[in-house]
Structure 1
Amino acid sequence: MTAHLPTRSTGRPLLPAEFDAELLARLAALDRASDSHAQEQRPDNTTRAYAGDWKTWTLFCEQFQIPTTAATRGTLRAFVDYLWNREKRAYATIDRKLAGVTVTLRTQYSVVVDPNATKAARELLKDYRKKSEEDEEPARGRGKAPAMRLADLQHIVSLCGDDVFGLRDRAMLLLGFSIAARRAELAGLRLRNIRDDEKGLLVDVRVSKTDPRTVPVPYGEHVLTCPVRAWKAWQEAAGITDPDRHAFRRLHHTGSVQPQGLTPQRAGDIITAAGLRAGYEELFTGHSVRSGMATEARRKGKDRKAIAAITGHKDGSKVLDGYMRIVDQWDETDNALIGIGL
């Protein structure tokens, strides 16, 4: 049976101002259901970040004695000023907090912030960053994670032990590198997301900041750095058989495998610790295997579309362009100084 949309006697669709109470109630119920569904699909780390953003906003509002629902052009600009000049927060952090506040207001309080208000706040933020650069102030934040190059990866995994701890860490490093994983993507993998194939593995990356992607991971050329063999060794040692359980688990200090999966923070800490054990002074992070894979693939001449298929970057991504420049700056075609007779 086909439902008929409400219309006036004139035949034209109803305008929002003409909706009756029954229709408004149904639309509100639909909004609540869609918000609940969107919340369930949002990665845990994003949810935690938004909660932190809202806490910061609440403290700001308390100090300035304004309601938390008063997200106007003036209050959002004041929020940016507060975070930049008083809290000394990084540019990316402030930009993210603006997003977290507007999303929380919309989903939890049904307050839709005027896009022009957020645009004005972000323009002020850009002005602050530009002035900071002109004044040659030190960059804020942690900066970009160092890329874990192939030689680094080989050295680090060679020092992972053959006990259950070493098997887990080696599998996380090699599989994380192979699928260009963010730490949340690595922590979010379930057994059902890793499927056997005669040529290797098919890894479904479901928990992602971008669109889900499936990465075909082939057997490696070398046993030591083969992600497929490393995964199978860990899976067998850990006895992972439940498709709905996490692929990478917590380990008790005695070596017993726990049913709980890793948090994104813990996944990143494991990668950092592996680098420190191998003697590296620079701190590799969860993002290091991701940037390392993109850098090494480009160095071997892989097409950017093939790289983007693994990383999940969109066509024309500025982040992916950054990985490309690391390699292309020394390419004869892209460096105008090479071969001109200097």
Structure 2
Amino acid sequence: MSDAPDIVEAELVDAHLPAIRPTNRPLLPAEYDADLRARLAALDTASDEHAQDQRPDNTTRSYAADWKTWTAFCTTLQIPTTAATRGTLRAFVDYLWNREKRAYSTIDRKLAGVTVTLRQQYSVVVDPEATKAARELLKDYRKKAEEAEEPARGRGKAPAMRLDSLRLIVDKCDSDIFGVRDRAMLLLGFSIAARRAELAGLRLRNIRDDDNGLLVDVRVSKTEPRTVPVPYGTNPATCPVRAWKAWAEAAQIADPGRHAFRRIHHTGSVQPQGLTPQRAGDIITAAGLRAGIEVLFTGHSVRSGLATEARRAGKDRKAIAAITGHKEGSKVLDGYMQIVDQWDEQDNALIGLGL
């Protein structure tokens, strides 16, 4: 009788061991066991939660609004919200453009918001060709609108807050705690070319003292984080460093993790909660209205104002981009540098040519 082990018996004994495979080949997904699949799923969940925590609040709110719009659209068509196909996404674009009369940039963002939400919350990966087809349709709609000379949709660019307006607005800020905060927000926001979400996202630890002024770490940003060196101003009334220090002292901000700019109760007591991006923009708008300026400034006006004034002062483009956070050669930065006086030598390329 042979001493060789029975094949069936050997298979039963070693059934719990992984199948033999070449040592130079990694495991394929189909070969993962239950324990490994569970650990990978847990890692996916943890990474999604971490990514969600890092996302700016305004982005999260935008995605939620995008999903609400998509849900309403799907209800109209009587289709499930997970049915993001080439046809449904094109229909979504048509719905937003022709029925809702939304702006091009809004529709483009909503497409992104829907696909991100589907992937993160429902594990539905939308076919890239489907989103590409929807965006091509959107481009066709915009092209036809331009050919027909239809008015541009959306609010348009934020008006640049010029230095003369900034000085007037700051001068009209009250001397109470509200005025101290608003003055600091306007001057520091202008100095770092802040978006409203960047102002709202600043923490105390992001604003560091330096012998020459302040080092402001802008961490909550649509683009790459940046550190802006803010020098002392030559005019104490419009110095962003002095304005910040006055607010920090008045508000008694001590916790490095707390928001730099806070809510204020109507009684004048500074609250621990930070401002929302919407509220930060509203404060800038209200400050302009209080100063009697006819132009309706928005949360982006201080950002555009810095870019515009720096260009007019002849500052190097790289130096401007270092403050705004734009990459070299950015076309978006060109959009922030506004022409403010068509008869000014700096804004009219024909003046001084010798014609």
Corresponding residue number in structure 2 for 1:234: 247
Structure 2: distance between partners of 1:26 and 1:207: 31
The secondary structure found in structure 2 opposite 1:71 is coil
Does structure 1 retain, via aligned residues, the 8 Å contact 2:160–2:338?
no
Residue 90 (structure 1) aligns with: 103
* CA gap 1:296/1:168 in 2 versus in 1, 3 angstroms: same
Does the CA contact (< 8 Å) of 1:7 and 1:14 recur in 2? Answer: no
Deviation sequence 1:260-298 (CA, Å, 0-9, x none) = 111110000000000011111221011000011011111
Q: Does 1:114 align with 2:127?
A: yes
> 1:147 Cα deviation (Å)?
0.5
Give yes or no for contact 1:298–1:327 (8 Å, CA) kept in 2: no
* Cα shift readout 1:191-243 (whole Å, capped 9, x = no counterpart): 11111111111111111111211111110010111000001111111111221
Offset at 1:97? 0.5
Cα separation, partners in 2 of 1:121 and 1:331, compared to 1, 3 Å: farther
1:60 aligns with 2:79: no
Give the root-mean-square deviation of aligned CA atoms.
Answer: 2.2
Offset from partner CA, 1:118-177 (integer Å, 9 cap, x none): 111111111111111111111111111000011111111011111111111100000000
Q: Which residue of 2 aligns with 1:187?
A: 200
Contact 2:203 2:258 in 1 (8 A): yes
Pick which of 319-328 and 30-39 moved more: 319-328
Amino acid at match of 1:86: R
The 3-state SS of whatever aligns with 2:286 is helix
Give the counterpart of 2:287 among 274, 295, 306: 274
Indicate the residue corresponding to 1:123 in structure 2: 136
Residue identity matched to 1:169: D
Shift of 1:20: 4.0
Match of 1:224 among 237, 250, 257: 237
d(CA) in 1 for partners of 2:236 and 2:139? 48
Normalised by the size of structure 1, how large is the TM-score? 0.93
Identity of aligned residues (%): 85
CA–CA distance in structure 2, aligned partners of residues 333 and 261 of structure 1:
40
SS of aligned partner of 1:196: strand
In the alignment, structure 1 residue 204 sits paired with structure 2 residue 217: yes
Query: Counterpart of 1:326 in 2: which secondary structure?
Result: coil
Residue 3 of structure 1: aligned partner = none
Distance, in Å, in 2 between the alignment partners of 1:283 and 1:195 is 32
**What is the aligned partner in structure 1 of residue 174 from structure 2?**
161
Q: Within 2, Cα distance between the matches of 1:280 and 1:159? A: 11
- Aligned residue runs from structure 1 range 8-23, under 5 A: 8-9=21-22, 11-23=24-36
- Output the amino acid matched with 1:72: T
Determine if contact 1:45/1:184 at 8 Å carries over to the other structure.
Answer: yes
The total of aligned residue pairs comes to 337
Distance 2:207 2:333 in 1: 25
Distance (whole Å) between structure 2 residues aligned to residue 251 and residue 334 of structure 1? 41
2-side partners of 1:329 and 1:113: how far apart?
A: 47
Unaligned runs of 5+ in 1: 1-5
Instruction: Describe the SS at the equivalent of 2:339.
Output: helix
Q: Taking structure 1 as reference, are residues 87 and 174 closer, same or farther at Cα in structure 2, changes over 3 Å only?
A: same
Instruction: Give the structure 2 partner of residue 253 of structure 1.
Output: 266
- Counterpart contact for 2:312–2:346, Cα < 8 Å: no
Cα deviation digits, residues 53-97 of structure 1 (max 9, x gap): 001101111110111111111110000000000111111111110
Q: CA deviation at 1:340?
A: 5.0
Letter in 1 for 2:106: T
Give the C-alpha shift of residue 14 in structure 1.
Answer: 3.6
Alignment correspondent of 2:159: 146
Aligned pair in 2 of structure 1 residues 334, 16: CA closer, same or farther (>3 Å)? Answer: farther
Inter-CA distance 334–253: structure 2 relative to 1 (3 Å threshold): closer
State yes or no: 1:243 paired with 2:256: yes
Report the counterpart of residue 170 of structure 1 in structure 2.
183
Cα separation, 1, equivalents of 2:24 and 2:196: 54
Question: Shift in Å at residue 27 of structure 1?
Answer: 2.4
Whether contact under 8 Å (1:299, 1:327) holds in the other structure is no
- Contact persistence 2:339–2:347 (CA under 8 A): no
2:53 — aligned with what?
Answer: 40
Partner residue of 2:84? 71
116-125 vs 234-243, greater mean Cα deviation = 234-243
- What is the CA-CA distance between 1:22 and the residue it aligns to? 3.5
Query: Residue by residue, what CA displacement relative to the aligned partner does 1:100-121 show, whole Å, maximum 9, x if unpaired?
Result: 0000001101111111111111
- 2:56 and 2:252 map into 1 onto residues whose CA distance is 26
Q: Structure 1 runs of 4+ off > 6 angstroms? A: 327-336
